[in-house]
Amino acid sequence: MPFSRLSRRLFVAAAALTAAGIYACSERDATAPSDQAALARGSGQGPDLRAAIAAKNKYAGQLLAKEGVVGTAVGLGSSGQAVIKVYLTRAGAAAVARSLDGVAVETQVTGELRAILPTAKPGGGGGGGETDPTKRFTRPVPIGVSAGNLNDLVYLRTVCTTGTLGARLKGANSQYYALSNNHVFAVENQAQLGDPIIQPGQADNGCRSTAADQIGTLANYVPLDFSRTATNVVDAAAAAVTTQTVGSATPVNGYGSPSSSILTATLNMAVEKYGRTTVLTHGTVTGLDASVKIRYGKGNTATFVHQIIITGTNGSAFSDSGDSGSLIVTDNSTHNPVGLLFAGSTSTTIANPIGDVLAQLGQRLGTTLSIQ
């Protein structure tokens, strides 16, 4: 997996702090993620986050156990200081201390955090227009458009779904892959390896897609763990594709091509994404190292750790149902990949750190992955 210089420095800092015992909590993973949020000044941007992250991790389990609490992260307070953010389903949903181990606590109403896709019943039709990401595109298809599993109606029985094809990857094995979420390509662990992956997704084609819509086959996915003690880090899947079926850039109304050099998210980082539902949107990273409870389509809840929290610019929505699988990149001329969008609410978006996505998928595919 290719790391930027910043990512390498942050990884070294994280490893040093872990060895020093900063993560003294039950939530610590047996294998630390390879792309954790900045735990120290690192790049020289913003306040020292170490005390806030240590306190957040220490109390995350207790906070998430409270009714009405859906997540907690480290962010910045109104005066720019590091704070612990606690995300609530509604105002006053839970009583939360004003500080934890000397670190200020701020609550924020996000509503329930979900990873639920748009659904359709058999019948109906798809979208239209040259830049409509729900329509069928000439092959090779761009990234950021509707895609899914041809057999999802078989697995879900009464409805079909769709999500977003986030990026094209290349393995050290010279194989190309399409990147999206487990719940988009692998139907929440139900799919079989080798399943046809199609564009557009079934819900954008009235559940009537055929093998003619295929762009690849499901190569592997990181299983979702819905157990009470789970600490998921990524919701990710990859389909084996070719350069003849999947391209490397968004449609013409998007940001273009992402860089192959990934970055670690930092607070106040400006980001953007192109997705099936809300198309091109802009936002800001407002939370790091988040622990969140995510509800899935069958009503199951999965706990995730080390996540990125993003808020839309000027109060606008950064994402909506169907944008799952979108690649999140820096909002500048380089478009460095930062995260993989997989969940959220009307006001908040949750993303997996892209370094962890590439590492965990690469391990399952038996190769090193890069964005191409």
- For residue 157, what are the CA distances in angstroms to 65, 116, 151, 239? 33, 16, 10, 23
Please write the tens of the pLDDT for every residue from 250-265. 999 999 999 999 999 9
First vs last Cα of the chain: how many Å apart?
12
φ, ψ at 365 (rounded to 5°): -90, -10
Residue 49 has pLDDT above 90, yes or no: yes
Residue with tokens 């995300």: 87
Residue 46: predicted pLDDT:
72
How far apart CA 286 and CA 351 sit, in angstroms, is: 12
Please write the tens of the pLDDT for every residue from 294-329. 999 988 999 999 999 999 999 999 999 999 999 999
Q: Which tops the pLDDT comparison, 352 or 38?
A: 352
φ, ψ at 6 (rounded to 5°): -60, -45
Question: Mean pLDDT across the stretch 118-141?
Answer: 81
Q: What is the pTM of this model?
A: 0.88
Residue 25: predicted pLDDT:
30
The first and second tokens of residue 238, run together, are 């990859």
Please write the tens of the pLDDT for every residue from 175-198. 999 999 999 999 999 999 999 999
The candidate with the shortest Cα–Cα distance to 235, out of 338, 343, 148, is: 343
How far apart CA 56 and CA 306 sit, in angstroms, is: 11
Span of 61-75, 116-130, 325-339 with lowest mean pLDDT:
116-130
